[in-house]
Amino acid sequence: MSYFKKFGNIASCRVYSRRNAKVQQARIIYDSPLSIARFDTQWAVYCFSTCLWVTPCHYTIDQKSFRHEFIATLTQLPPNTKDINLAPFTRDLGAKAVNVPLSLNSYKPKRWAYVTFNSQETMDAAMEQIIGFRGHTLQWNLPDNTNKLCHRCGKLGCAPNQCPSRQDRGRTRGRNPVAALKKRFNINHPARPKERLRSGSHSRSRSKGPSNSQPSQSQKPLANARLNHNPRRDRSKSNDKRDRSVSFSAVLLTPPPLSTPNQSSIMSPHDAANILSLLKSLQQDMAEV
């Protein structure tokens, strides 16, 4: 609303949207009636690249509807044409305002524009002229035919599915964007066997703990006997990594046999000191709790 401050001191401003309306409206109140006197003859202003309609609030319903009575459409515009681009030659034609509608899906400018005039004679004289803009020959139509315009090229009676502009962009009827997205993000594809390999390596890594890192000599023959007991079964297990990992980890996770009385466990003084310090720290932690 800072653009309208140059017309006078603004007392209040409120932006709102009517129900089921496609555009927003603003109600601006100036502290002096002289600030809006120019809008009796000026119907619109250009703010950045958009043409904004300006209507005094004290107008009657007939005066407001008169400003929407003589409207023609200018079709086959180049892509991304904005209101400000059409302002120079529409002003020469005697037009009061020009508005390029935006697409509700992509918010891009459509390929036609609504040109507003103040009389039927001025509109008829403008529609008799041929206008060229950026290498395109523009065509005049009535606003009642906008639902028959192609949203790709802006021509009257052109089917969007068979529009030449659609073929120029390289799109074919067999193009399936959903399938391309599924292929890109690997949707509905079989899962890779990484998880099974990861779970197998995890089970094997757990089996290689401190207690099982150095198995006793009595445990090695047991593992060898278990693995070499049935060669045919081992050959079938080599084809299934999950079964092989489970059976191998089950053998290694079995508790080692109890040591015989003849075998004496020897503990170094360093290990004994570590155990005592650990017990002492645990005792202190329990005392604090």
* Model pLDDT for residues 112-127, shown as the tens digit of each residue: 899 999 999 999 999 9
Burial 29-67 (b: 16+ CB within 10 A, else e): ebeeeebbeebeeebbbeeeeebbbbeeeeeeeeeeeeb
The structure tokens listed for 160 are 């969007």
62: tokens are 């007939």
Region 66-93: mean pLDDT is 90
249 or 25: whose pLDDT is higher? 25
Determine the Cα–Cα distance for residues 53 and 259; give it in Å rounded to an integer: 97
Residues counted in the chain = 289
The residue among 282 and 257 whose pLDDT is bigger is 282
Residue 104: pLDDT band (50, 70, 90) is confident
Helix or strand (DSSP H, E) at 27: strand 25-30
Q: What is the pLDDT of residues 7-43, one digit of tens each?
A: 999 999 999 888 888 888 999 999 999 999 999 999 9
* Exposed / middle / buried, residue 210 (Cβ in 10 Å: 0-12, 13-18, 19+): exposed
pLDDT of 64 reads 93
Indicate if the pLDDT at residue 167 is higher than 70: no
Query: 78 and 112 in contact (C-beta within 8 Å)?
Result: no
Which domains are seen in the chain, by residue range? Answer: 60-156 (3.30.70.330)
pTM above 0.85?
Answer: no
> For position 31, what pLDDT does the model report?
93
Could you tell me the CA-to-CA distances from 74 to 133, 135, 140, 166 in Å, in that order? 11, 15, 5, 21
Q: Give percent of the chain above pLDDT 70.
A: 66
* Per-residue pLDDT tens digits for 152-165: 777 777 776 767 76
Angle between helices 241-253 and 194-207 (to 10 degrees): 10
